[in-house]
A and B are shown apart, each in its own frame.
Chain A
Amino acid sequence: MKTRVIHWFKFASPQNFYGLAGRMWPWFAALATVLTLVGLWISFFVAPVDAQQGQGYRIIFVHVPASQMSMFIYLVMAAWAGIGLAFNTRLSGMMASALAPTGALFAFLSLVTGALWGKPMWGAWWVWDARLTSELILLFLYLGFLALQSSIDDPRRADKACAVLALVGAVNVPIIYFSVKWWNTLHQGASVSMKGASMATPMLMGMLIMVLAFWMYAIAIALLRVRNIILDRERHTEWVKHAVA
């Protein structure tokens, strides 16, 4: 029993995870590429024109995946941050830091593609609607995380401060998710729910494949970035000197 526990924690050491991440990222990158190509093909050639929104609805194939990832990455980041606080593992803080910039970019993309969708359909780039406003707050939380991180010189102290911010900010994610139910919003409700989907099958397939593609992209990117963070933070250790020599 004891040996199994040690085996699991083996990859909690940055040195071991550096190698593991290096072996894993190309697989996720390859999956992301294939899924993106299939997803784009469905998005433009298979999915039919929408009855109400014509060709304009095709923005959904990037808007929904980007929005979903911006929320999900935040939860994963907060979970890593929480693990780091609870177990004092160095890798957890590095994982949280590796996810934050990508989450911020997805939040940004969600807002920009949303504006590009809102203008032709609602007649406005931006409205102070509950869904849009809470997504904007998510972007600010990511930016706050990144700013706090870079303002504290000691990375271990920075990890702890950022972990608290990440955990407190997590309350915003369910607010974004349920905003279309809790308040009267201009933003439409969920197209996919437990009761089924309110959209044509090829549209749904295209959207789900694009969501999967964004997942794979986010994992590959997080692994690439955590490798850079590990190398940077451990640059004075013997193993790094051996690894690059």
Chain B
Amino acid sequence: MGGYAFYVWGSFGITALVMIIEVWQLRAQHRAILRNLSNETGSDSDPNHS
């Protein structure tokens, strides 16, 4: 990378990292909301169902 490796990979790396964390956080949040809802309604359905 002609001496720019740290800067180039750092830029692409942090962007990828932020995006992966954001997607993961939203999926986890969705599962948590569904889990709480099925607990509240007392249903025994699959909590991962979307």
- A residues sitting closer than 8 Å to B (CB atoms) are 22, 49, 54-56, 58-59, 61-63, 66, 101-102, 105, 108-109, 112-113, 116-117, 119-120, 217, 221, 224-225, 227-228, 231-232, 235, 240-241, 244-245
Q: Are A231 and B18 in contact (CB under 8 A)?
A: no
Name the A residues within 8 Å of B3 (CB-CB).
Answer: 54-56, 120
Q: Are B11 and A120 in contact (CB under 8 A)?
A: no
Q: Are B4 and A54 in contact (CB under 8 A)?
A: yes
Q: Are B18 and A109 in contact (CB under 8 A)?
A: yes
Q: CA separation between A228 and B11, bound complex, in Å?
A: 30
Which residues of chain B in 1-41 are interfacial with respect to chain A, using CB atoms and an 8 Å cutoff?
Answer: 1-4, 6-8, 10-12, 14-15, 18-19, 22-23, 26-27, 29-30, 33-34, 36-38, 40-41
Main secondary structure of the interface of A (DSSP, over half): helix
Q: Are B34 and A231 in contact (CB under 8 A)?
A: yes
Q: Are B43 and A109 in contact (CB under 8 A)?
A: no
Q: Are A56 and B33 in contact (CB under 8 A)?
A: no
User: What are 9 A-to-B residue pairs whose CB atoms are below 8 Å?
Assistant: A56-B2, A62-B15, A66-B15, A109-B18, A120-B4, A228-B26, A228-B33, A231-B34, A235-B37
Q: CA separation between A240 and B38, bound complex, in Å?
A: 10
Name the B residues within 8 Å of A227 (CB-CB).
Answer: 30
The residue in chain B whose Cβ has the minimal distance to the Cβ of A22 is B50
Q: Are A244 and B14 in contact (CB under 8 A)?
A: no
Distance of B6 from chain A, by nearest CB (Å): 8
The residue in chain A whose Cβ has the minimal distance to the Cβ of B34 is A244
Q: Are B4 and A232 in contact (CB under 8 A)?
A: no
Given contacts A55-B1, A109-B15, A221-B26, contact A244 B45 (CB under 8 A): yes
